[in-house]
Amino acid sequence: MVKLVFCLVVVLYVSLCYAGKKVEVLKYLSRLNKPPIKSIKSPDGDIIDCVHISRQRAFDHPFLKNHTIKMEPNYHPTWINNNDIKVSSVMNEDGPSSSSKPSKHGTITQLWNSIGQCPKETIPVRRTKKEDVLRASSVKRYGKKGYSTFAKPNSIDPDLINQNGHQHAIAYAQGEFYGAKATMNVWNPKIHQPNEFSLSQIWILKGSFASDLNSIEAGWQVSPDLYGDNNTRLFIYWTSDAYQATGCYNLLCSGFIQTNNEIAMGASISPISQLHGSQFDITILIWKDPDEGNWWMQFGNGKVLGYWPATLFSYLTESASMIQWGGEVVNTASDGQHTTTQMGSGQFPQEGFGKASYFKNIQIVDESNSLRAPKDINTFSEQPNCYDVQTRNNGNWGTHFYYSGPGRNPNCP
């Protein structure tokens, strides 16, 4: 009888906690999902809300209450419009490809674009659903990376790596920077556990890695926990305190101000590169407006998406001290072995074009606001037998590197 009563009490307590969390989630969603002017049902199940640009979540931030939206940067260098979103399998780093299938020239798009467009003076926002938030460890942590997710090339603590489970294969440059650019091919890596992810991105960094790191990030990712599926999605991220309390993915918190009505942060992108087949890539450029200090982002062929206001940051109000390009995965080692979550294509970098993932035409914005290749570039990987990186340089692709890996294999138990 005592056991029965105890079990009933436990069930009641769990039910009340779950009900309490559901109420908290509903309140959170009412603040997060702003009233749309129009909604679009994407083929992948997403709902894209067209929200008036002045009502976006960014302006919930206390530093941005009286912020005047900038529709374009004050400083508009000519080099920000020379990017393209295109198929790259017809040309490898050494010239015309003979080992990979020729591809039709095309454009990477987001799936929701095939159904409709958001009107002018609105921005597309991926609607957050109740089940999205319920998958998170807490409402407070929804849309945030775990602590200590950065790659710290100069002083890696093996115990810390084992604790947080984040692993990287990156190239990086150190100095004084005012932006960065790269073209990366897009894949759909396999994820071992729903609470693991795989991404490829650019990091723009300054500050102490342990406590007050400022970071601006953009790229593509596969994250079942965050999105509820295994689609490859465009994403952005920012933090001003080493991922502790500030910042989030996409538009899930106040901060990034979007100005573009064509691209939805966190929405699926298509088509995807194929092993031994067509390679599709995207170009991302992030640069600092020297007049107002805001950090702007451009995606593909002249599509300026918006900006991170300078007031969000401490160190990045001046400049960045490190740029990183490459991949990151989470290894939970849930079954006592290394995860089989893939980074990039899931192939090692020595496999080369058509098999491995790449970043090409890597560039930085220097103190004279010129776009150029970095003078010195280094590489870093916690476990090269699981995920690795190799740099190269030539005339066709400029400074570039291959990276990726399968995770668990005979040399990565």
| Under 8 Å between Cβ of 281 and 183 | yes
User: Which residues lie closer than 8 Å to 174 by C-beta, 6 or more apart?
Assistant: 321, 322, 376
328 as an active site residue: the answer is: yes
The DSSP code sequence of 250-313 is TTSSS--EE--SS--BT-BEE----TTS--EEEEEEEEE-TTT--EEEEETTTEEEEEE-GGG-
Write the CA distances from 355 to 95, 135, 151, integer angstroms: 16, 33, 25
- Active-site hit among 121, 328, 367, 382: 328
Per-residue confidence (pLDDT) for residue 100, from 0 to 100: 42
Per-residue confidence (pLDDT) for residue 81, from 0 to 100: 63
Q: Nearest-CA neighbor of 302 among 263, 255, 359?
A: 263
pLDDT at 87 over 60: no
- Active-site hit among 176, 217, 351, 382: 217
The pLDDT of 114-141, averaged and rounded, is 95
The rounded percent of the chain whose pLDDT value lies above 70 is 84
Q: Nearest-CA neighbor of 399 among 93, 111, 64, 4?
A: 93
Strands, E assignment, 16-165: 38-41, 47-52, 86-87, 91-92, 95-96, 109-110, 122-126
pLDDT at 162 over 60: no
217 as an active site residue: the answer is: yes
Name the residue ranges covered by the structural domains of the chain: 65-113+135-404
| Under 8 Å between Cβ of 105 and 87 | yes
Q: What is the pLDDT of residues 42-74, one digit of tens each?
A: 999 999 999 999 999 999 999 998 899 999 998
* Residue found under tokens 């090409």: 360
pLDDT at 159 over 90: no
| Under 8 Å between Cβ of 329 and 407 | yes
pLDDT grade for 20, boundaries at 50, 70 and 90: low
User: What is d(CA 26, CA 20) in angstroms, rounded to the nearest whole number?
Assistant: 10
Average pLDDT, the chain: 87
pLDDT grade for 93, boundaries at 50, 70 and 90: low
pLDDT at 405 over 70: yes
